[in-house]
Amino acid sequence: MKTYTPKLLLAAAIALALGNAPVMADDKVAAKSGPVADARQEAQIWTTYTLNRYLRANDLTVTVLDGKATLSGSVEEDVHKDLAGAIAAGVSGIDDVDNQITVDADYKAPDRSSTRGYGDVVDDATITTAVKSKLLWSKHTEGMDTKVVTNAGKVELSGTVATQQAKQQAEKLAKNTDGVRSVDNKLQVSDKTTDGKSYKKADAEKGSVIADSWITTKVKSTFMYSSNVAGSDISVKTDKGVVTLSGEVGSGAEQALAIELAQNIRGVKSVTSRQLIF
């Protein structure tokens, strides 16, 4: 990826400073065009490339001049070239994209240092958050002292869960999270909750009444975080704890997984899936 020059960094700093300063009429015109706007748009494109797992490994170059972005470099697939162009075109103020990126099936990305890049750190943090959220929402792992650490897509689970079933469920939820490459399950089975009290399944199942809106949101979010369920194609409705799934999925396995994920959410009494077809 590109290394920012002092000039570009200075321009970006100026852009940030201008963003915090009062804007006069002439300044508004300058903010939409000129070197400062070019640098800001170029930095935005580069940031997005850095965060994108499909583009960060490629040696791509980008320059912006008066609202026109010129892209060059090499990628292995047409879809990656199209992706780079779409990202640039989506930046506010970019009116034209000259996509000169070449597609080379034999292209090999240059060797990178062993130090993780910013995009890698963001990916791992996103995975950790998704796994933690799924465990927090699950009726099997609620109230337990579970820790999640992610490094290069490899998730380590540690801490305690109440039952062997909860341990297995935690691993399954982690493995089915988008971006996860492997799971090292170091969870220990213990009947102690995070506050030191003994865990009683009957007490946990009683719980407080959970709002239908909360259940619907968590089911949808769980689908979104999962790698094997097309959550955007599934409609979720909840009435008094009964979840109704509808829409179209790609296979019976995806249908079964969607039902299982919904059933595991806290507060869900049952799942109706007659309208979820494949």
Burial class (CB in 10 A: 0-12, 13-18, 19+), 159: middle
pLDDT at residue 132, rounded to an integer? 93
Q: At what angle do helices 6-19 and 35-51 cross, to 10 degrees?
A: 100
Cα-Cα-Cα-Cα dihedral sign, residues 21, 22, 24, 29? positive
- Cβ atoms of residues 69 and 62 within 8 Å: yes
CA dist 74 and 85 (Å) reads 13
| Measured torsion, CA atoms of residues 50, 52, 56, 58, in degrees rounded to the nearest 10 | -130
Helix (H, G, I), strand (E, B) or coil at 226: strand
pLDDT at residue 29, rounded to an integer? 46
Q: At what angle do helices 118-137 and 212-225 cross, to 10 degrees?
A: 140
Helix (H, G, I), strand (E, B) or coil at 248: strand
CA dist 263 and 245 (Å) reads 11
CB under 8 Å to 197, separation ≥6 — which residues? none
Cα-Cα-Cα-Cα dihedral sign, residues 63, 65, 69, 73? negative
Whole-Å CA distances, 103 to 79, 80, 85, 147: 9, 9, 13, 42
CA dist 87 and 83 (Å) reads 6
Beta strands 146-151 and 182-185 are unpaired
Closest by CA position to 265, among listed 246, 248, 241, 249: 241
Cα-Cα-Cα-Cα dihedral sign, residues 231, 234, 239, 241? negative
Note the pTM of the prediction, 2 decimals.
Answer: 0.66
Q: How far apart are the first and last CA of the chain?
A: 42
Q: What is the mean pLDDT of each run of 10 residues along the chain (278 residues)?
A: 43 42 45 80 90 81 93 91 94 94 80 68 91 90 82 92 88 92 92 56 55 94 89 89 93 92 93 91
Domains of the chain: 6-103 (3.30.300), 118-206 (3.30.1340.30), 212-277 (3.30.1340)
The 10 Å CB-count burial string (b at 16+, else e) for 209-219 is eeebeebbebb
Provide the CA 255 distance to its chain's centre, in angstroms: 22
CA dist 57 and 79 (Å) reads 15
